[in-house]
Homo-oligomer: A and B are copies of this chain.
Amino acid sequence: MARAVSSQPTEVELQILRILWESGGSTAREVHNGLTEIKGTTYSTTVKMLSVMLEKGLVKRDEAVTPQVYRAAMSQKVTQKRMLGDLIEKVYNGSAMSLVLQALSSGKASTDELAEVRRIVDELEGKKP
């Protein structure tokens, strides 16, 4: 019985996804090792979370090998875009720009990064003159 796909991954699910993105694929034990460093939860909990995430379609499982290997169902990039879009919609009333401006102004950008932003802007302006 698949659960609703509509909602975003929750806090813990995201932490698990990050572990999977980094490793490319992990056993339940490996996920648990990564997870237990930040949260003191038990192995059993980790396995349960993975099975819930499997139900939701957030992860895939390779059952051909033992122990089974879990992988993120969606790339990090796609997930980021989706969550970003959600935030823009809910918190910035759909205006991506005000988000960009606020993120820029937060002052955490290095000179290199600003140059990169400038490059992207140049590129985008080139497309629609």
Instruction: Count residues on chain A whose CB falls below 8 Å from chain B CBs.
Output: 43
Contact of A92 among B80, B92, B100, B107 (CB under 8 A): B80
Chain B contacts for A110, CB-based, 8 A: 97
Chain B contacts for A124, CB-based, 8 A: 104-105, 107, 109, 114
Q: Are B93 and A18 in contact, with the CB atoms below 8 A? A: yes
Chain B contacts for A97, CB-based, 8 A: 108-110, 113, 116-117
- Binary contact track A101-129/B, C-beta < 8 Å → 1, others 0: 11111111111011011101100110011
Q: How many whole Å from A35's CB to the nearest CB in chain B?
A: 15
Q: How many whole Å from A74's CB to the nearest CB in chain B?
A: 12
Q: How many whole Å from A97's CB to the nearest CB in chain B?
A: 4
Contact of A102 among B81, B116, B125 (CB under 8 A): B81
Q: How many whole Å from A26's CB to the nearest CB in chain B?
A: 18
